[in-house]
Amino acid sequence: MNRGEIVPLREPGATPADALAHADALYHLARHLTRHAADAEDLVQETYARAFRALGRIAAGPELRAWLFRILRNAFLDLQRRARRSPVDARDDLDGLAGAAPGEEAWLRGDAELERMRGIVGAEIEAALRTLPEDSRVVVLLDVEGFSEAEVGEVMGCPVGTVKSRLARARAALRERLSEYRR
Amino acid sequence: MDCKEARASLHDFGRRRLEAPRHEAVSRHLDGCPACRRAADAETLLDRLLRERLPRHAAPPELRRRLDELAHAARAPGASPGLAAGAAHPPLRRADAVRRIARFAAPAVAAAVAFAAGALLVGRRADGDALATLGREAVTDHLRAISSPHPPDIESSASHEVKPWFEGRLDFAPRVPPDGGEVRLRGGSVGWFLDRKAAVITYTLRRHAVTLLAFRGEGLPWPSRAAGADRLRATSRGFHAVFWRSGELWYALVSDVDPGELDRLAAAFAGAT
């Protein structure tokens, strides 16, 4: 028995093609982060420029996806800081959404509210999403994208418990905004 | 399980992430608690709104081309990853500059710059690629429209009702060709074509679904070989898409009907647009 054999346990590094398979999803998030098509293109391009420098160190698979989204978000925060638009406060969602505790929103008060919500159109959801702070938009969009809470935590650099509470508050705020549009 | 516990689990319940016993417990609670059932319905509805109605943005063809260049440089033999990314930058910055000019210049100049950039980037050899990309996007939009569980946002077989519905929802006024022959108008919705808003007008032709997309053509490369052609046809995944232009607006008619029949319908629609 060849007990001295060394078996490589690490999967081979991801290729540019593996990374490019996420371009649409990254661009989608970038559009909702930057709110501008050209800025979103810049952001995705910057993301890939950074990613390709270190791609060989990451295995293809779910890990690659979370890693790319993390790069995109960090690149976005860097751009914001550089542009000196508004100082980025990672906790602004918790304060900004304080009025929208999960489970207390208007649209849970009756079936009529729910019925009204069904008439919401894409432009209204997009507008409601725009009113949320950056952190909240990211958690809501990644969640819908199928990321687990652990993966969202990887992207945001925070524990799962924090993701859970941010997501609940962000979705509650989103419902509240949407319900306002339909009044 | 009480309401507080149930509410805290609703999101994971909807995502089917709970262990079987806990899933069962939430399910039982919802059966007996109308308030929590409503909260669960609200969760589900928000998911559906976000998944099905939030505009889905796909990477535009020009961005894809630049990313391919970056990837190509990263793959270059002998290039260290850091060097590769650096080497890919100059041409990309040039493309950025064109785009920035287009963004900040006066609208008429912007349109000219964007169109010229498109023409440069989509050379003769790339014509087929450009058309294929447009075709793929149109077919994807058609599939999104026909697979949606929701009726069109405005459900009507009357063109004079569908057309005014778009007012205030789009920054252009699409023509909505009326019923004719075996074609029946079903209604319209606001959707997206690549990076721009589009009118998504749905018809039926016998048992086939037909989607007419109308959107602003600004910045999109109309294949140069087809400069004199009235219409263009692309095929993707068994569906056909016929494109034509009317002033600033582009139209795409998509269906799985016979390509000849689709083209005849497109010619009739183009006459009406």
Check residue A108 and give its pLDDT. Answer: 52
Q: What is the mean pLDDT of residues A72-89?
A: 72
The pLDDT-based confidence of A117 (bands split at 50, 70, 90) is low
Q: Could you give the maximum distance between any two Cα atoms of chain A, in Å?
A: 75
The pLDDT-based confidence of A48 (bands split at 50, 70, 90) is very high
Strand partners, B245: B250
Q: What is the mean pLDDT of residues A112-117?
A: 62
- pLDDT tens, residue by residue, B167-176: 988 989 999 9
Task: Choose, out of B7, B67, B195, the residue to mutate when testing the contact with A (most A CBs < 10 Å).
Answer: B67
Residue of B123, B124, B93, B99 whose CA lies nearest to B113: B99
A7-21, A43-57, A64-78, B12-26: least confidently modelled range: A7-21
Check residue A127 and give its pLDDT. Answer: 84
Which residues of chain B are within 8 Å of residue A140 when distances are taken between CB atoms?
50
Q: Quick check: A79 pLDDT over 60?
A: yes
The answer to whether B190 and B199 are in contact (CB under 8 A) is yes
Nearest to A121 among B73, B88, B153 (CB): B153
* Cα–Cα distance, B22 to B29 (Å, whole number): 11
The pLDDT-based confidence of B118 (bands split at 50, 70, 90) is very low
Q: Quick check: A97 pLDDT over 60?
A: no
Residue of A95, A105, A156 whose CA lies nearest to B43: A105
Check residue B143 and give its pLDDT. Answer: 86
| The two structure tokens encoding residue B250 | 């582009």
CB contact under 8 A, B63 and A55: no
User: Is the Cβ of B66 closer than 8 Å to some Cβ of chain A?
Assistant: yes
Q: Give, as one character, the DSSP assignment of residue A175.
A: H
Check residue A92 and give its pLDDT. Answer: 38
3-state secondary structure of A49: helix
Residue of A150, A154, A11, A133 whose CA lies nearest to A72: A154
Beta strands (DSSP E) in chain A are none
Nearest residue on chain A to B63, judged by CA atoms?
A: A41
Residue of A87, A81, A178 whose CA lies nearest to A129: A178
User: Is the Cβ of B109 closer than 8 Å to some Cβ of chain A?
Assistant: no
The answer to whether A52 and A135 are in contact (CB under 8 A) is no
| The two structure tokens encoding residue A59 | 């295995």
Q: Quick check: B124 pLDDT over 70?
A: no
With 0-12 / 13-18 / 19 or more C-beta atoms within 10 angstroms meaning exposed / middle / buried, residue B88 is buried
Nearest to B58 among A24, A52, A174 (CB): A24
| DSSP letters for A116-145 | HHTT--HHHHHHHHHTS-HHHHHHHHHHHT
The answer to whether B154 and B187 are in contact (CB under 8 A) is yes
Q: Give, as one character, the DSSP assignment of residue A55.
A: G
The answer to whether A174 and A166 are in contact (CB under 8 A) is no
| DSSP letters for chain B | --HHHHHHHHHHHHTT-S-HHHHHHHHHHHHH-HHHHHHHHHHHHHHHIIIIISPPPPPPHHHHHHHHHHHHHHHSTT--HHHHHHHTHHHHHHHHHHHHHHHHS-HHHHHHHHHHHHHHHS-GGGHHHHHHHHHHHHHHHHHHHHH-SSPPSEE-S-HHHHHHHTBTTBSS-------BTTEEEEEEEEEEETTEEEEEEEEEETTEEEEEEEEE-TT----GGGTT-SEEEEEETTEEEEEEEETTEEEEEEESS-HHHHHHHHHHHHHH-
Which residues of chain B are within 8 Å of residue A107 when distances are taken between CB atoms?
42
> B77-83: long-range contacts (C-beta < 8 A, 24 or more apart)?
B81/A52, B81/A53, B81/A54, B81/A55, B81/A56, B82/A53
Q: Give, as one character, the DSSP assignment of residue A88.
A: -
> In the block, which residue shows the tokens 């498109």?
B118
Check residue B249 and give its pLDDT. Answer: 93
Which residues of chain B are within 8 Å of residue A45 when distances are taken between CB atoms?
63, 66-67, 70, 92, 96
Q: What integer best gives the mean pLDDT of chain B?
A: 78
Higher-pLDDT residue of A46 and A86 is A46
The pLDDT-based confidence of B84 (bands split at 50, 70, 90) is very low
Check residue B146 and give its pLDDT. Answer: 82
Check residue B272 and give its pLDDT. Answer: 74
* Cα–Cα distance, A173 to A92 (Å, whole number): 13
Check residue B200 and give its pLDDT. Answer: 95
Check residue B231 and give its pLDDT. Answer: 87
User: Is the Cβ of B5 closer than 8 Å to some Cβ of chain A?
Assistant: no
Distance (Å) of CA A114 to CA A117, A179, B33, B45: 5, 9, 17, 8
The pLDDT-based confidence of B126 (bands split at 50, 70, 90) is low
The answer to whether B11 and A168 are in contact (CB under 8 A) is yes
Check residue A180 and give its pLDDT. Answer: 74
The answer to whether A46 and A29 are in contact (CB under 8 A) is no
Nearest to B57 among A20, A28, A48 (CB): A28
Q: Quick check: B239 pLDDT over 70?
A: yes
CB contact under 8 A, B71 and A38: no
The pLDDT-based confidence of B177 (bands split at 50, 70, 90) is very high
Check residue A10 and give its pLDDT. Answer: 42
User: Is the Cβ of B158 closer than 8 Å to some Cβ of chain A?
Assistant: no
